[in-house]
Amino acid sequence: MRILVVNPNTDEGMTRALAGRARAVCPAEAEIEAATVPFGPTLLSRRRDVAVAGAAVLALLAERAGTMAAAVIGAFADPGLEAAREVLGVPVTGLCEASVLTACQLGARIGLMLGSRPMVPAVEERLRACGVSERVCGIETPAPGSRPGSPDELVAAFGALARGLVERAGAEVIVLGGGRLIGFAPRFAEALPVPVLDSVDCAVLQAHALARLQPRKATVGSFGSPPPARSKGLSGGLARLFADGT
Amino acid sequence: MRILVVNPNTDEGMTRALAGRARAVCPAEAEIEAATVPFGPTLLSRRRDVAVAGAAVLALLAERAGTMAAAVIGAFADPGLEAAREVLGVPVTGLCEASVLTACQLGARIGLMLGSRPMVPAVEERLRACGVSERVCGIETPAPGSRPGSPDELVAAFGALARGLVERAGAEVIVLGGGRLIGFAPRFAEALPVPVLDSVDCAVLQAHALARLQPRKATVGSFGSPPPARSKGLSGGLARLFADGT
Amino acid sequence: MRILVVNPNTDEGMTRALAGRARAVCPAEAEIEAATVPFGPTLLSRRRDVAVAGAAVLALLAERAGTMAAAVIGAFADPGLEAAREVLGVPVTGLCEASVLTACQLGARIGLMLGSRPMVPAVEERLRACGVSERVCGIETPAPGSRPGSPDELVAAFGALARGLVERAGAEVIVLGGGRLIGFAPRFAEALPVPVLDSVDCAVLQAHALARLQPRKATVGSFGSPPPARSKGLSGGLARLFADGT
Amino acid sequence: MRILVVNPNTDEGMTRALAGRARAVCPAEAEIEAATVPFGPTLLSRRRDVAVAGAAVLALLAERAGTMAAAVIGAFADPGLEAAREVLGVPVTGLCEASVLTACQLGARIGLMLGSRPMVPAVEERLRACGVSERVCGIETPAPGSRPGSPDELVAAFGALARGLVERAGAEVIVLGGGRLIGFAPRFAEALPVPVLDSVDCAVLQAHALARLQPRKATVGSFGSPPPARSKGLSGGLARLFADGT
Amino acid sequence: MRILVVNPNTDEGMTRALAGRARAVCPAEAEIEAATVPFGPTLLSRRRDVAVAGAAVLALLAERAGTMAAAVIGAFADPGLEAAREVLGVPVTGLCEASVLTACQLGARIGLMLGSRPMVPAVEERLRACGVSERVCGIETPAPGSRPGSPDELVAAFGALARGLVERAGAEVIVLGGGRLIGFAPRFAEALPVPVLDSVDCAVLQAHALARLQPRKATVGSFGSPPPARSKGLSGGLARLFADGT
Amino acid sequence: MRILVVNPNTDEGMTRALAGRARAVCPAEAEIEAATVPFGPTLLSRRRDVAVAGAAVLALLAERAGTMAAAVIGAFADPGLEAAREVLGVPVTGLCEASVLTACQLGARIGLMLGSRPMVPAVEERLRACGVSERVCGIETPAPGSRPGSPDELVAAFGALARGLVERAGAEVIVLGGGRLIGFAPRFAEALPVPVLDSVDCAVLQAHALARLQPRKATVGSFGSPPPARSKGLSGGLARLFADGT
């Protein structure tokens, strides 16, 4: 069973970090393959970046269609997630959706830690579109401009924010959403009185669970395969996406 | 990794059915153990039954504490689910919650098939408490008194209801919630244009995913371990539950 | 007209306190009878306790069926409330639901005072299931471990929290939900600029109002009488509950 | 204990009908006084009518301030309800709010019967403002232009609509909201498998319950007494309302 | 194209302020006419005032029916707005509704500035009835009793509150709702890092947009013209409103 | 005042249709310029198409930045709308959002007509993210495969669906959302008893209203200008978008 982890950022270091974390959490029966989108911003931190990354994710998936049992979109804004579900024949998960749905099973009130403050309203819209926004009791981000240097500084800075979510907002589980926080869940869990989830872990394990279910591809509804369609000015994966339908 | 599947019904045949389905869907690395609650109704179909089953589930879990990596509560009303999360040190999933959260990742609108019409409002309250009720577009049950005899009759009767959820309510994924429907998902999937989920499959796979995450036990909040407490008139597991705290 | 006040705690002192308050608030035409559940925790303060108390409430009500015009479930988590409505032929009220619905008629924004912090998320789930959670603007509890000794200390400690709900959260009416607060509403009302409700008062008066309406028992839906059903390992009231249907 | 039943319609026959129903349902300890607003439409059936009736209710209450322990606003749109709560020192209830809050304690899903189709969206807005709209599963009105003549015809016509709410929308309790339906609840209850509530009964009993609580008047918030204020062009009760503050 | 700006306060100075602001913002093709309601409170600040103003707005509109292409109700509580839509054949807008709907297009989270603290719950009910309450992240008012004298003091006092909405509540757009704030938007915008909207500007421009659409008058539903109806004790515009139907 | 109407489809005929409709509805003081995105599907009808169109809209806007007072995104899924608001210094509107917000001011319940059934869940997610989904009472699309030929056939086919929204779902205003329906609002309005809105009209008039407000560009929050950022594999407008920040 192969799970494709798509990095919607064009930063290759992030692809390696995602792959490493995915391999660490995944059951032995699954094989992780990681890939970087062919174009777009180096690191997503704004609405502009997410909009371009959505198209880039589709371009990559069109190139890889048919080679995996499930896919993971490895950025917290879930760029292109629903469109990917439409064009692929296998399940797709996203970091935001998968981690919040996982967290729903571990705590009544969920606290989110994000890397970029301007992304907060966009994540809130995403949660509302998912229909689970009532379960999220707070979202914290580091102050604009703060740049923790060492891992210890990062744990100290984000740890104080997470503790505030527990003590003031009543969070019963913390989700780590920012790319810089990959792999830090165990360190946070030591210092906090509630479970702490790495969103990459959650998305990979949800993808594995969905792959085992082997759900049939819908032929109707918004996730039914789209027909081939005329397009203009596209090349590579995106051109194929429209020429072939899926 | 051992996963305990708790049958909140006292019917042993249902325990075997749950165990069989759980073993069929679970990854090889996990071992399924199934157990029947020590007291309560044979088959849950009303609010009365669920209230008693909630206490029975706790009684069983208190007996088995410390022997598993995760637990599954094997009835669609999720009896005792939140209380179980409080008293156990490991993750617990329930059929309703786990299947709806799984379905959120496969379709925008979710249709539910239940076995008993009087349970519909209770399930709706449960969905609202979970915070995902907006994603469920319809709930269908067989007409009161109808009793499909053969598997073919059952598939025909429920299949027509499921098709109505797809065509009239716009369901993009169907969840099979009733005990009688265990194991029938593949037959329904053949006949329907959307994915069909067995709620037992979903709850077992979610329990496996949560067990792999090895989340720390909360020490604060509504899922923090309760302290020992005085009680009266209890025996067996329930007495131990209060004497020991967990 | 007899109103049965059920104490879901096994503490007899609490039964006397409930009975005293109920008799103080009830119109002369109604007679209050109070009873203690036959088993369960001494004082409810966690999800575990509520789950067991739900079954205990049903056991008691099955013993007393046919002897009252309405029943009150005397703990703020409303243990077994919906199941009680299914099995009894007369109206049943609960402290949480009744006091919040009463408060809706006295203020636009409702503040709740509870005795136990870990119960907050469970009460929030209950409010969401009721559908009135938008009206509640805040829930306060004393700091874990704080134990006001004298009544004056209790009024001082809780009074400061209630004032915060009024001044910072904009509460226009305060509901006293914790067992320790029974009978203190007049003292709080002196010190606060908004109405203060004792949840026992509210539940008894709502039970009286419903009893006067003499609503017919539903024969369909989730509150229609359940049929007799097979069960295992039950004795006393719970055994009768399944043997007789109601 | 005197309860004032305000008829927001200027039709005196309706005042007598309200008074009769209120006296029939009210405990002996309460005395019912009924009064008709001094100006406005004969019978409320549109938004225009409700807007004028809101001011008329205030005019009447200003004349009667200090003479009652509670007031009931006797039209289903609850005209002037919140403003009445601001200006009066005693509790006030309304037919819509009181009956839906009562029904919440008798069924999970509430069906409403109204007299005028164009009022449906206005009632829906009122339910949403109250925060309980999720509990209402359907609203039915007679076809525009239909005019059942005899009581038997009325029961037949509305009974068929109510049965549809039960069978198709899953209503577990029916609220009779239209003025023409006052006093008919027992006849509907015979013919339906669920409880049926007369909204006048509910509002009178809620007013009685609130009066027994003797809640203190708020001095802050949106229901705190308004200060005297300058006004223009008003006479009678309305002029006094502004001159005196309450 | 004539747009009628209705002042629901009886203060003529406010009428001049509304007219001045409306003329400043309106396209040249529209002509602004302003009018003061014939009776009611000088300045609306409580629920009592809004209830009376609703009837006064209808009285004025009945006098002016047929003379305008659209109408604006110039107080933030939108008194009589829905009833005005029913009786008039042309579009009507209100300050609260129009400014929040406009703000939805400029920021994800909306902060409101109001003049009177007791109006906050009433405005929240209005937002909930509109269905857009989730978009509003906070409402601020000056402390009761504070009376900024000069414009500079007013900008300083309200500016600090608005800054708090941006910094602590995450507001991305600020709506100025209080009558005293008319015309101050540019001064606030200089001092704040987000757009600032004058609610009068928004309501006038929305009225202009709706007038250009020339929507047909509904003949069904809650905004269909009401029929003539009998009434009592009314004179002037209100009497005509019922005698003529519209 | 120049308003740029962006066609997110690459079909030039659609650009001409959008431009024609925009010029017909716009006040004389505004000048309409229409432009076609440089790449993407010919006509948007699926989630895949919308994802690619979102990036294409940004590419076009980056080319045109600084040349307009407001922009309109001319497809009902509002592709790239929020990202456009982030990168542009002037207001941007979208067909779905603008028409639903306009419709909120004309009817209590809104019915939508769309061209493609698979887009329904995506539009519902968009409405939920906007926070106005409660106002929409129904969405209708032509049966899959149906292809009305002449304008008369189109009016007949869609008219029957719209009438059903009015009669069965209680719609009080109808929004025409599909590209094929541009310009048909007057014909529908003749045949329906409620107002009918062309979504292009609404978006152009909202853009004009916002342009007149001349709101300042946010410097904080999710619509504050993004900083320049590194990217890979982009050319033309998209490359500039990241190189320049806006």
Residue-wise pLDDT for E209-218, tens only, equals 999 999 999 9
- Residue B50 main-chain phi, psi, to 5 deg: -65, -40
Q: How far apart are CA D121 and CA D110, in angstroms?
A: 16
Q: Does A40 touch chain F (CB under 8 A)?
A: yes
- Give me the pLDDT at residue B66, please: 92
DSSP letters spanning F185-226: HHHHHHHSSS-EEEHHHHHHHHHHHHHHH-PPPPSSSTTSPP
Burial class of residue E193 in the structure, from the number of CB atoms within 10 Å of its CB (0-12 exposed, 13-18 middle, 19+ buried): middle
Residue F135 contacts D, CB cutoff 8 Å: no
Locate the chain E residue with the closest alpha carbon to C172.
E121
Phi then psi dihedrals of residue D80, to 5 deg: 75, 10
What Å distances lie between residue D238 and D88, E6, F8, CA to CA? 13, 21, 57
The single-letter code of the amino acid at D17 is A
- Checking if the pLDDT of A182 tops 80, the result is yes
* D86 reaches E (C-beta below 8 A): yes
Higher pLDDT, D133 or A6: A6
Find the radius of gyration of the CA atoms of chain C.
Answer: 18
Asked if B213 reaches chain A (Cβ–Cβ under 8 Å), the answer is yes
Nearest to B197 by CA among B124, B128, B97: B97
Question: Rounded to whole angstroms, how far apart are CA atoms D123 and D115?
Answer: 12
Q: How far is CA B137 from CA B109, B172, C9, E131, in A?
A: 6, 9, 39, 20
Q: Token digits for D44?
A: 């409320």
**Cβ contact, residue pair E215, F109, below 8 Å:** no
pLDDT at D200: 98
Going by pLDDT thresholds of 50, 70 and 90, the confidence category of residue B144 is confident
Q: Quick check: E98 and F105 CB within 8 A?
A: yes
Q: In the numeric block, which tokens belong to residue B151? A: 């598997």
| Tens-place pLDDT, residues D137-192 | 999 998 777 777 788 888 898 999 999 999 999 999 999 998 889 999 999 999 99
ipTM score over 0.90, yes or no: yes
Contact D170 B121 (CB under 8 A): yes
Q: Does D118 reach chain F within 8 Å, measured CB to CB?
A: no
User: Do B75 and B44 meet the contact criterion of CB atoms below 8 Å apart?
Assistant: yes
In B, minimum Cα distance to D168 occurs at: B140
Looking at chain D, how many residues does it have? Answer: 246
What residues contact residue F237 under an 8 Å CB cut-off, 6+ apart? F38, F58, F59, F60, F61, F62, F63
Task: Say how many Å lie between the first and final Cα of chain A, rounded.
Answer: 21
In angstroms, the separation between the Cα of residue D29 and the nearest Cα of chain E is 31
CB pairs under 8 A between D and F: 9
Summarize the confidence of residues A1-18 as an average pLDDT.
98
- Mean pLDDT across the stretch B143-150? 76
Q: Which two tokens stand for residue C17?
A: 């306190």
| Contact flag for F and C (3+ C-beta pairs < 8 Å) | no
Q: Which residues of C touch B128 (CB under 8 A)?
A: 128-129, 131
Convert the pLDDT of each residue in A135-179 to its tens digit.
999 999 987 777 777 888 888 989 999 999 999 999 999 999 988
Q: Is B105 on the interface with A (CB under 8 A)?
A: yes
Q: Inspect the interface and report whether the beta carbons of D97 and C104 lie closer than 8 Å.
A: yes
By CB atoms closer than 10 A (0-12, 13-18, 19+), residue D4 is buried
How much is the mean pLDDT over chain C?
Answer: 95
CA–CA dist C78, C91 (Å, integer)? 14
Assign F1 to helix, strand or coil.
coil
Q: What is the pLDDT of residue A246?
A: 60
The per-residue pLDDT for F6 is: 98
Give me the residue label for tokens 């559908």. Answer: C131
Q: Tell me the pLDDT band of E246, cut-offs 50, 70 and 90.
A: low
Say if residues D129 and D108 touch (Cβ distance below 8 Å). Answer: no
- Residue B70 — φ and ψ, nearest 5°? -165, 160
Phi, psi torsion values for A147, nearest 5 degrees: -140, 80
D133 near E CB under 8 A:
no
> Average pLDDT, whole number, for chain B?
95
Instruction: Tell me the nearest-neighbour CA distance from E232 into chain C, angstroms.
Output: 30
The answer for F 175-194 residues in CB contact with E (under 8 A) is 189, 193-194
- For Cα atoms F28, F29, F34, give the angle at the middle one, nearest 5 degrees: 80
- Cβ distance F83 to A51 less than 8 Å, yes or no, reads yes
CB contact under 8 A, B170 and F121: yes
- Cβ–Cβ of A129/F129 closer than 8 Å? yes
- CB distance A86 to A219 below 8 Å: no
Chain A environment of F87 (Cβ under 8 Å):
48
Of the two residues E246 and A209, the one the predictor is more confident about is A209
Residue E143 has pLDDT above 90, yes or no: no
Task: Answer yes or no: do F120 and B172 touch at CB < 8 A.
Answer: no
pLDDT of residue F24: 97
Whether A167 and chain C come into contact, CB under 8 Å, resolves to no
Asked if the Cβ–Cβ distance from E28 to F29 is below 8 Å, we say yes
Q: Tell me the chain D residues in contact with residue F106 when contact means C-beta distances shorter than 8 Å.
A: none
The fraction of chain E above a pLDDT of 70, given in percent, is: 100
Task: Give residue for tokens 């006292």.
Answer: B10
pLDDT the model gives residue F179: 85
Backbone angles phi, psi at F15, to 5 degrees: -60, -45
Distance CA C205, CA C200 (A): 9
Residue C148 binned pLDDT confidence (cut-offs 50, 70, 90): confident
The DSSP secondary structure of B38-99, one letter per residue, reads SSEESS--SHHHHHHHHHHHHHHHHHHTTS-SEEEE-STT-TTHHHHHHH-SS-EEEHHHHH
pLDDT tens across D209-225, in order?
Answer: 999 999 999 999 999 99
What's the full length of chain F, in residues? Answer: 246
pLDDT, position D246: 60
- Taking alpha carbons only, the member of C103, C122, C119 closest to residue C111 is C103
Q: Specify burial of residue A168 (Cβ count, 10 A radius: 0-12, 13-18, 19+).
A: exposed
Report which of residues A116 and D88 the model is more confident about. Answer: D88
- CA F163, CA F112: separation in Å to the nearest integer? 11
Measure the N-to-C terminal CA separation of chain D; round to a whole number of Å: 21
Distance from CA of F7 to the nearest CA of A (A): 13
Asked if F164 has any chain E CB less than 8 Å from its own CB, the reply is no
Record the tokens describing residue C174, joined without a space.
Answer: 């305060």
B246 band by pLDDT with thresholds 50, 70 and 90: low
Q: Are A134 and B135 within 8 A, CB to CB?
A: no
Partners of F183 on chain E (C-beta within 8 Å) are none
Which two three-digit tokens encode residue D122? 């206005």
Ordered alpha helix ranges (H), chain D: 12-25, 47-64, 81-87, 95-103, 120-130, 151-169, 185-191, 199-213, 236-244
Does E60 score more than 70 pLDDT?
A: yes
* Contact check, Cβ <8 Å, E108/A128: no
User: How close E144 comes to chain F (CA, Å)?
Assistant: 30
| pTM of structure | 0.97
Are chains A and D in touch, 3+ Cβ pairs below 8 Å? no
Interface test with A, best of B127, B167, B216, B222 (most A CBs within 10 A): B216
Among B2-11, C114-123, E235-244, F135-144, the range of highest mean pLDDT: B2-11
Give the pLDDT score at B198: 98
Contact check, Cβ <8 Å, C122/A108: yes
Q: Which of E198, E25, E166, E106 is nearest to F89 (CA)?
A: E106
Q: What are the Cα distances from residue F94, in Å, to B186, B233, D99, D135?
A: 42, 65, 42, 34
DSSP secondary structure letters along E132-166: -GGGEEEEE-PPTT----SHHHHHHHHHHHHHHHH
Write down the H helix ranges in chain C. 12-25, 47-64, 81-87, 95-103, 120-130, 151-167, 185-191, 199-213, 236-244
Q: What is the largest CA-CA distance in chain D?
A: 55
Write out chain C residues lying below 8 Å of B58, CB-based: 48, 51-52
Per-residue pLDDT at D87 exceeds 70 = yes
CA-based nearest residue in chain B for residue D110? B121
pLDDT of residue E245: 73
Does the distance separating the beta carbons of F197 and E222 come in below 8 Å? no
Q: Residue D213 is encoded by which pair of tokens? A: 């609580």
C221 and B CB contact within 8 Å: yes
For the residues A180-200, what does the mean pLDDT come to? 94
For testing contact with chain B, the best of A90, A105, A194, A222 (most B CBs within 10 A): A105
Ordered DSSP codes for D41-70: ESS--SHHHHHHHHHHHHHHHHHHTTS-SE
Of F184, F116, F176, whose CA–CA distance to F152 is shortest?
A: F184
Residues E8-22: pLDDT tens digits? 999 999 999 999 999
- pLDDT for C244 beyond 90: no
- Angle, alpha carbons E189-E195-E196 (nearest 5°): 60
Closest Cα in chain C, distance from residue D40 (Å): 26
Residues of chain F with pLDDT below 50 are: none
Is E232 in contact with D42 (CB distance < 8 Å)?
yes
From chain C, pick out residues whose CB is under 8 angstroms from the CB of E124. 108-109
F172/E201 touch (CB, cutoff 8 Å), yes or no: no
